[in-house]
Amino acid sequence: MSFTPHGKHLIAGQWSAGDNHFTSEPAHGPAHQFSVGTPADVDAAVQAAEEAFWSFGYSSREGRATFLNTIADEIEARADAITEIGTQETGLPEARLQGERGRTTGQLRLFASHILAGDYLDRRHDVALPERAPLPRPDLKMIQRPIGPVAVFGASNFPLAFSTAGGDTAAALAAGCPVVVKGHSAHPGTGEIIAEAIHAAIQTCNIHPGVFSLIQGGNRAVGAALVQHPLIKAVGFTGSLAGGRALFDLCAQRPEPIPFFGELGSVNPMFVLPAAAAARGAEIGTGWAGSLTMGAGQFCTNPGIAVILKDQADAFVAATTTALGAVGAQTMLTDGIAAAYRDGQARIASCEGVQEVLSNSHAQRNASPFLYQTTADTWLANEGLGEEVFGPLGLVVVAEDLDQMRAVARSLQGQLTCTLFMDEADTAVAQSLLPILERKAGRILTNGYPTGVEVSDTMVHGGPYPASTNFGATSVGTLAIRRFLRPVCYQNLPDSLLPEAF
């Protein structure tokens, strides 16, 4: 089935058009016009979300689970049309979009099962001790409760799994929080068809229409209006460091500051330890090249940095270079992302002490891999080398000895992931690095590449700043639901007044 976008916002169950429009810039296929959002659209959507909260926020877990599963059903019913518009807008291959759609519906269904189990509520009970001396203890019960309307900003690099019905939206709805999504202008048609699926689920489940709204396009004033609206209680964001930090600051400056759960940037360093490098350095380098260029390097877990000892670097670098040389140009998500990649590559290339190992040409919306090498001394003297370049660019950092490798680890900013490539003989070295890396990253891997993120109970997709703005949270996995809950203690309340979950 084919899909032609109508270009409207979905606000409280109504499709509405604005006076101004923007034209999409697909990688291929037809362009379409979409309405530009306004602060007035934001206010209408948020007011409706607040009204919806009085019913949805106090709905049963069974009802919300049915709603999440119905959204997944409606997305699958539009599978072919989603793939068609998604590939046109982003340039991503069909297989990637199909896999991402499966991840999107899978996490909706996982969250539905998770809330039915009830563990996320963290229910606690201290029974009354009326005879306790010197003071009696009242009956105390604690449970997690939804916080209210949540704002979600769609991500450019995951048009399904991190956007309209992605992890932030699914987690908020699972918690009982209505959602207002600011769609990403890189894939507005994909956002629209997913919004249609959510709208159909709302109607099927007879839920208040204010539980979900999608506002397309708009300038920075729209994003600012959304995070500053007094009825918004939290924000989910995946994007650039500059854009995320600006929104984070606005959240903090509100009369009522609210949490900003932003994922902003990570270089995801790999440490290739001596025994592993000696036994299979070339193999690790070849694998790194595949991970580095997957999806044109447009993954938040793209491993852009590899750290290795000087006397073991040659074989690793040679194998990486050969593997990268076989990778052709790939289409990036937007012209702006491609331009930013070119700027980042030029910045790295211009750094004193950085050696170019593999160069390529790239123009317009295409990206080709680049590989650079530098010393640990140069890395430690130049903080800019640790800034993310979003695309298929790798930097090998060569350390003189293990002490210098540990110094590189200590110099890192916050990361989503850090990886140890090790053999059994590397255990002592790994033990010395692990306490450092635990302070730097939300996920630590051994002998694997971080570009695959499992949606599960144990996954942590977050880390210290600037990887994310809240190191105690994750945007992937069932723990993501806890971002949109807060604990409430009930003292001596009769059972008739307690939440249904008790």
Q: Which residues are catalytic?
A: 263, 300
Contacts of 276 (CB under 8 A, 6+ apart): 284, 421, 422, 423, 426, 447
Q: How far is CA 409 from CA 155, 305, 349, 374, 405, in A?
A: 29, 11, 22, 15, 6
Closest CA to 336 of 308, 369, 364: 364
- Dihedral over alpha carbons 45, 51, 54, 57 (to 10 degrees): 0
CA dihedral in degrees (475, 234, 64, 75; nearest 10)? -60
Supply φ then ψ for residue 409, to 5 degrees: -60, -45
Residue type, 464: P
**In b/e form, how buried is each residue of 336-364, taking b as 16+ CB within 10 angstroms?**
ebbebbbebbeebeeeeebeebbebebee
In 3D, which of 351, 362, 430 has the Cα closest to residue 386?
351
How distant, in Å, are the alpha carbons of 45, 374, 448 from that of 271?
47, 15, 11
Q: What are phi and psi of 424, to 5 degrees?
A: -60, -35
Residues 6+ apart with CB under 8 A from 376: 307, 397, 398, 399, 400, 404, 405, 407, 408
Output the six-digit token pair for 270. 């790999």
Taking the CB of residue 490, how many other CB atoms lie within 10 A of it? 16
| Alpha-carbon separation of residue 490 from 119, 158, 233, 270 (angstroms) | 18, 40, 22, 47
For residue 272, list its beta bridge partners. 421
Alpha helices in 176-303 (DSSP H): 188-205, 220-228, 241-253, 274-293
> What is the spatial distance between Cα 402 and Cα 274, in angstroms, rounded to a whole number?
9
Please give the Cα distance from 281 to 315 (Å, whole number).
6
3-state helix, strand, coil in the chain (%, to 5): 45, 20, 35
Decide: helix, strand or coil at residue 329: coil
